[in-house]
């Protein structure tokens, strides 16, 4: 028998707030977390802006010796997971922790550690490379560290699908609980890639905005968009089987009712220009939820502020929703946060859950110049109070990975 899956905990650390409450307040206020890069010397870089986590001191969350053994991307995952676990009200002393899993993805993983230790090897020799290099850098270690920290002994997996990683992790977690393999999963994404090598790499494939005006850098669906802005942080949700949540009288933010995942099979970095792959992911999620396209009130778009993404995603939404695309509200919150790569789907699932809970559709900020090719209702600059029964979150990744999850308002 298929089981119902609900969201009972939220955790976030982002460029506009170091907790879920601060993050969501920033979304509603239209706060922009983009500013000049402070993580390294940008003198020789054409890209000057990023969306960094502000006022972050790891020693507020970890013992000094512990922080030194954790890459920043793992730190962010643990911080968001601790908040989500606390928010859920779950207790490891009373839960069967063998039925609690962790599925947290990242697009790049411990790149800060990789760059640091690479320099040590070149300048000081191989004997100076830290023995913690490998366990700090590898992509599964965010999940591993969270499982150790929480005490989760169930399925412990890291999924890597570039910028779709967070949404894929949530979608696959939904399926695991739905079909009885786990009762609870901490799911989402984490990233900390504002580093010289990462910025240079994305800069040289012309993916990043070179604007020095933070209000005209990440501007999804704007005709003058010119690339995305790198962000960092983590978003983790607690997914739980409905009856398990009800037995402990848990707060339920929303129910997950559909998930679609497809491949463009087109290009290593560019989305399929006709939007076909993204459209199929949305259609699969809608079909699983057994609803009609017109039932969807809000879509949190991938909306990266690149010409190719925003154009093809607009087409994908039109294909998937048909006539209903003329009325659905579509916004991208990447004007607020920049693009968190593998963590984007995690924080954007939180946006959808909070949007449903509070009846508020977030705006697409930094928008000025309409694009006739991106002619959906993108909720420009000012959010809207409206009842939301169904909300969808889309994520698309390099390699042609597409993922969509569909959330529903939970009514007892």
Burial class from Cβ neighbours inside 10 Å (0-12, 13-18, 19+) for residue 351 reads buried
Annotation says 339 is catalytic:
yes
In a domain, 182, yes or no: yes
The reported pLDDT for the residue numbered 401 is 98
Same domain, 217 and 310: no
Same domain, 27 and 167: yes
Same domain, 32 and 67: yes
- Which residues, in sequence order, are CB contacts of 386 under 8 Å at separation 6+? 297, 329, 359, 360, 361
The reported pLDDT for the residue numbered 338 is 98
**Where do the DSSP E strands lie in 14-64?**
35-36, 49-50
184 strand-pairing partners: 100, 240
The reported pLDDT for the residue numbered 269 is 93
In a domain, 411, yes or no: no
The reported pLDDT for the residue numbered 412 is 81
Distances (CA, A) of 229 to 52, 66, 202: 10, 30, 10
In a domain, 412, yes or no: no
Question: Residues 244, 302, 336, 401: which is the catalytic one?
Answer: 302
pLDDT in tens, 280-329: 999 999 999 999 999 999 999 999 999 999 999 999 999 999 999 999 99
Same domain, 27 and 149: yes
Q: Which of 220, 247, 274 is at the close of a domain?
A: 247
Quick check: 13 and 33 in contact, CB under 8 A? Answer: no
**Where do the DSSP E strands lie in 61-116?**
100-105
* pLDDT-flagged residues of the chain (< 70): none
In a domain, 167, yes or no: yes
Same domain, 149 and 234: yes
Question: Residues 32, 163, 352, 374: which is the catalytic one?
Answer: 163
The reported pLDDT for the residue numbered 334 is 98
Which residues constitute the domain of residue 390?
258-406
Integer Cα distance of 330 and 341 in angstroms: 20
The reported pLDDT for the residue numbered 231 is 98
The reported pLDDT for the residue numbered 1 is 75
Quick check: 307 and 219 in contact, CB under 8 A? Answer: no
Q: Which of 212, 247, 282 is at the close of a domain?
A: 247
Same domain, 56 and 190: yes
In a domain, 252, yes or no: no
Annotation says 32 is catalytic:
no
Number of domains forming the structure of the chain: 2
Same domain, 205 and 100: yes
Q: Closest Cα to residue 11, out of 80, 85, 75?
A: 80
In a domain, 253, yes or no: no
Q: Which of 198, 213, 247 is at the close of a domain?
A: 247
Same domain, 105 and 83: yes
In a domain, 157, yes or no: yes
Quick check: 167 and 195 in contact, CB under 8 A? Answer: no
Question: Residues 339, 352, 374, 401: which is the catalytic one?
Answer: 339
Quick check: 354 and 313 in contact, CB under 8 A? Answer: no
Please give the DSSP secondary-structure letter assigned to residue 97. G
**Where do the DSSP E strands lie in 281-347?**
298-300, 329-331
Same domain, 305 and 365: yes
Structure tokens at 207: 């993916």
Same domain, 356 and 224: no
The reported pLDDT for the residue numbered 291 is 98
Q: Closest Cα to residue 86, out of 172, 36, 150, 37?
A: 150
Place of tokens 């029964």: 389
User: What is the CB-side half-sphere exposure of residue 392 using CA atoms within 13 A?
Assistant: 35
DSSP one-letter string for 133-144: HHHHHSTTHHHH
User: CATH code at 99?
Assistant: 3.40.47.10
Same domain, 228 and 285: no
**Sign of the dihedral defined by the CA atoms of residues 40, 109, 335, 83, in that order:** negative
Please give the DSSP secondary-structure letter assigned to residue 39. S
Same domain, 19 and 133: yes
In a domain, 290, yes or no: yes
Annotation says 163 is catalytic:
yes
Structure tokens at 156: 């412990």
Quick check: 107 and 163 in contact, CB under 8 A? Answer: yes
Integer Cα distance of 86 and 154 in angstroms: 19
Mark residue 359 as left, alpha or beta (left: phi above 0; alpha: psi -120 to 50; beta: remaining).
left
The reported pLDDT for the residue numbered 135 is 96
The reported pLDDT for the residue numbered 44 is 97
């Amino acid at each position: 028998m298929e089981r119902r899956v609900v969201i009972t905990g939220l955790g976030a650390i982002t460029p506009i707030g170091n907790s879920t409450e601060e993050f969501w307040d920033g979304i509603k206020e239209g706060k922009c977390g983009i500013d000049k890069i402070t993580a390294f010397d940008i003198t020789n870089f054409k890209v000057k802006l990023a969306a960094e986590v502000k006022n972050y001191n790891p020693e507020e969350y970890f013992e000094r010796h512990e922080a030194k053994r954790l890459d920043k991307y793992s730190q962010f995952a643990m911080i968001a997971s601790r908040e989500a676990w606390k928010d859920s009200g779950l207790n490891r002393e009373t839960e069967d922790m063998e039925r609690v899993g962790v599925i947290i993805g990242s697009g790049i993983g411990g790149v800060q550690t990789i760059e640091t230790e690479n320099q040590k090897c070149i300048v000081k020799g191989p004997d100076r490379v830290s023995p913690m290099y490998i366990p700090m850098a590898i992509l599964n270690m965010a999940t591993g560290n969270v499982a150790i920290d929480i005490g989760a002994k169930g399925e412990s997996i890291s999924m890597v699908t570039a910028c779709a990683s967070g949404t894929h992790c949530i979608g696959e977690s939904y399926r695991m609980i739905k079909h009885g393999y786990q009762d609870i999963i901490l799911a989402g994404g984490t990233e900390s890639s504002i580093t010289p090598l990462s910025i240079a790499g994305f800069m040289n494939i012309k993916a990043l905005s070179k604007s020095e005006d933070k209000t005209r850098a990440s501007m999804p669906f704007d005709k003058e968009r010119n690339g995305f802005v790198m962000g960092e942080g983590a978003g983790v949700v607690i997914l739980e089987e409905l009856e398990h949540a009800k037995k402990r009288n848990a707060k339920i933010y929303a129910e997950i009712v559909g998930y679609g995942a497809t491949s463009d099979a087109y290009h290593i970095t560019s989305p399929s220009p006709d939007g076909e792959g993204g459209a199929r992911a949305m259609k699969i999620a809608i079909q699983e939820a057994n609803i009609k396209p017109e039932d969807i009130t809000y879509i949190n778009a991938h909306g990266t502020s690149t010409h190719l993404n925003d154009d093809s995603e607009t087409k994908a939404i039109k294909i998937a929703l048909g006539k209903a695309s003329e009325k659905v509200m579509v916004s991208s919150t990447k004007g607020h946060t920049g693009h968190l790569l593998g963590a984007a789907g995690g924080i954007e699932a939180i946006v959808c859950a909070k949007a449903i809970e509070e009846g508020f559709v977030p705006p697409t900020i930094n928008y000025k110049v309409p694009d006739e090719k991106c002619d959906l209702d993108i909720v420009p600059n000012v959010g809207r109070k409206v009842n939301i029964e169904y909300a969808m979150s889309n994520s698309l990744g390099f390699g042609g990975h597409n993922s969509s999850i569909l959330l529903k308002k939970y009514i007892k």
